[in-house]
Structure 1
Amino acid sequence: MRVVHVVTLVSDDGAYGGPTSVAAGQLEECAARGHEVSLVSLWRGRSAAPARLGSVPLRTRPARSVLPGRFTGLMHPLLVRDMWVAMGRADVVHVHAGRDLVSVAALAVAALRRKRFVAQTHGMVQPRRAAAVRLFDRLYVPLLRRARGCLVLTEQERRDVAEVVGAGGPPLMTLPNGVRPERADGAGEGGRRDREVLFLARLHPRKRPDAFVEMAALVHRRMPDARFTLYGADEGVLPAVRRLIAAHGLQGIVSYGGALEHAQAVRAYRRAAVYVLPSVDEPFGMTVIEALSAGTPVVCTDTCGIADELARREAAVVTDGSPAELADAVCGLLADDARRAALAEAGRRAVAEAFSVHAVTDRLEAIYRGL
């Protein structure tokens, strides 16, 4: 099959997060199975766009802000032409569709090209009452209804998308995110650091990096040798994070390392003793399964979309998200090597059985063939 995916943004700092890494992972696995694949997207970075994302051919245009919003208003007029050309030869079109101009353009081109296409919303399409969103949805929702299927992560997302698209919408099909399982031999450059606690996500209010710093302050009182590192593109919270570090006197204890490319992120997971995601209402938690795949014990909150599944498998420590409970979980893991090892093994097993890109692409191929 000739498969074309469209995602809003590829960048050198991973700012668009899960949808980009999911698209790349799905396409890499499709290519490994003999399909002809390509990814169409905007590009933002300090250098020219790469020709490939991993093994996936990449067709990009520089991202330009034509409307307000961090991602909503990004566009380049020539990207529409690129979509038109790429989709012309495609057997299947797959749009990673948020509420943004790139997604609207991709859905419209697929419909005009009379292509059979699926949409995947990644938890980004939720009921909203703001006037600007209702106006945007007058164009967006009719196009989304043209999809032959809409891929959702969780039952909550199924309910959200069903409410947005209303009657006459496409079939809603559950498809989890998947990662390529990491090898279990070794812990990356320099080995695993027994006292390093990691935050790796966008510095966005929903991800709660400030709660990570508050947690770090509590852990430091009990375990002064623990160290804490935050990585991720800043989305407005970095000044508050730095103020909290100073207020708690954690200079040299808590550090910010900026945004990481994927290979660097994998090494960061593999070095850390514990990965903490304090995020609330996380639709899925792509970084959680990336950490699990790297063999790193995970602490998350009970509003993470896969928290129940991980708790059932005893593959992560699930908390209420408060700094105190996060700190208790981290201290418990840092003090117990055997428990960390058991949690890491259960996490790898969960990835292999439920969240591997191999299992996900089996399902995705069946959906494509059904089109």
Structure 2
Amino acid sequence: MKILQIVTLFSPDAAYGGPIRVALNQSKALQDNGHDVTIAAGERGYAVPPTHEQGIALKLFSARTVIPKIGYAGIGAPSMLVWLHKHIREFDVVHIHLARDLVTLPAAKLALAYGIPVFAQTHGMIDETDKLLAKPLDAALTIPVLKRARTVFYLTEREHADLQSVVGDGHLNLVELNNGIPEAEDLESRPCNSYDPPEVLYLARLQARKRPQVFVEAAKELLDSGHTARFSI
């Protein structure tokens, strides 16, 4: 199967965060299972944009600030839409890491217009909001895309509730999808000072939805069960 993944922004400093990592991990797993996967995205900050990462083909297009002062939501990639018009029918399905922005929403609308099955994954980015620009954007793009998507993936119950609230009475095919990660290298095979216990790092924004308390609970459980390690936030 030929699969196109679409995400908002690649940059050398990975500023867009989690959705890029999820897209790469998913693509690698799909490719390892025999599928042909390409990731398309906006890009900024590269002297020469990469064409591959971790063995995954990338199609990166210059990202522009279409609407200033609203962060990632104001980013667009017009040249991506031109490329999609020419190539979208080469793909069997499109998996879009959907956000309220002018990269992923127009791409999703275009894929649906060509009759390509769309699978949307929102990463908590489409939530209840009182931002003035969200209402017209949701009416014009977000809600129609979510309603017509073959499947909308969610990670948490809060995200599930937010998506239903945004769409209102519309039907969504909501499916839970956990974030998979590659298997870690066996710690025993790594050279280290035998006197130093391994260190486990929690690296994220320190906010409730990132669940730092779960990290603390897991650390306590491991230590209480006899494991030796250091845990850092």
SS of 1:41's partner is strand
Query: Equivalences for 1:35-54 in 2 at 5 Å?
Result: 35-54=35-54
1:50-85 Cα distance to aligned partner (Å, 9 max, x none): 111211100011211111222111122111022233
Matched length: 229
Picking from 184, 194, 202, the partner of 1:275 is 202
Query: Equivalences for 1:199-348 in 2 at 5 Å?
Result: 272=199, 274-275=201-202, 277=204, 279-282=206-209, 285=210, 301-302=212-213, 307=214, 315-316=218-219, 339-341=227-229
Q: 1:54 to 1:340 in 2, by over 3 A?
A: same
Query: What CA distance in whole angstroms lies between the structure 2 residues aligned with 1:6 and 1:148?
Result: 15
Asked if 2 retains the 8 angstrom alpha-carbon contact of 1:278 and 1:301, the reply is no
Which residue number corresponds to residue 130 of structure 1? 131
Which residue number corresponds to residue 243 of structure 1? none
**Divergent runs of 4+, >6 A:** 187-193
Taking structure 1 as the reference length, what is the TM-score of the superposition?
0.56
Q: 1:73 to 1:342 in 2, by over 3 A?
A: closer
Asked if 2 retains the 8 angstrom alpha-carbon contact of 1:194 and 1:273, the reply is no
SS of 2:139's partner is helix
Shift of residue 188, structure 1, vs aligned partner = 6.2
CA RMSD, Structure 1 to Structure 2 (Å): 3.0
The sequence identity of aligned pairs, in percent, is 31
Rg bigger for which structure?
Answer: 1
Query: What CA distance in whole angstroms lies between the structure 2 residues aligned with 1:31 and 1:193?
Result: 40
Query: What CA distance in whole angstroms lies between the structure 1 residues aligned with 2:9 and 2:138?
Result: 21
1:30-63 Cα distance to aligned partner (Å, 9 max, x none): 1111111101101122421111121110001121
Q: Match for 1:137: what amino acid? A: D
1:149-186 Cα distance to aligned partner (Å, 9 max, x none): 10000111101111011222321100011110111235
Query: What CA distance in whole angstroms lies between the structure 1 residues aligned with 2:206 and 2:45?
Result: 26
Which runs of 5 or more structure 2 residues have no equivalent in the other structure?
none
Q: Match for 2:159: what amino acid? A: E
Shift of residue 101, structure 1, vs aligned partner = 0.5
Shift of residue 129, structure 1, vs aligned partner = 1.8
Shift of residue 274, structure 1, vs aligned partner = 4.1
Shift of residue 276, structure 1, vs aligned partner = 5.4
Query: What CA distance in whole angstroms lies between the structure 2 residues aligned with 1:81 and 1:48?
Result: 20
SS of 1:315's partner is helix
Query: What CA distance in whole angstroms lies between the structure 2 residues aligned with 1:186 and 1:73?
Result: 46
Query: What CA distance in whole angstroms lies between the structure 2 residues aligned with 1:24 and 1:182?
Result: 16
Q: 1:129 to 1:52 in 2, by over 3 A?
A: same
1:277-309 Cα distance to aligned partner (Å, 9 max, x none): 462133xx5xxxxxxxxxxxxxx524xxxx3xx
Which residue number corresponds to residue 2 of structure 2? 2
Q: 1:113 to 1:189 in 2, by over 3 A?
A: farther
Query: Equivalences for 1:162-177 in 2 at 5 Å?
Result: 162-177=164-179
Which runs of 5 or more structure 1 residues have no equivalent in the other structure?
196-269, 286-299, 319-332, 344-371
Shift of residue 143, structure 1, vs aligned partner = 2.0
Query: What CA distance in whole angstroms lies between the structure 2 residues aligned with 1:145 and 1:193?
Result: 56
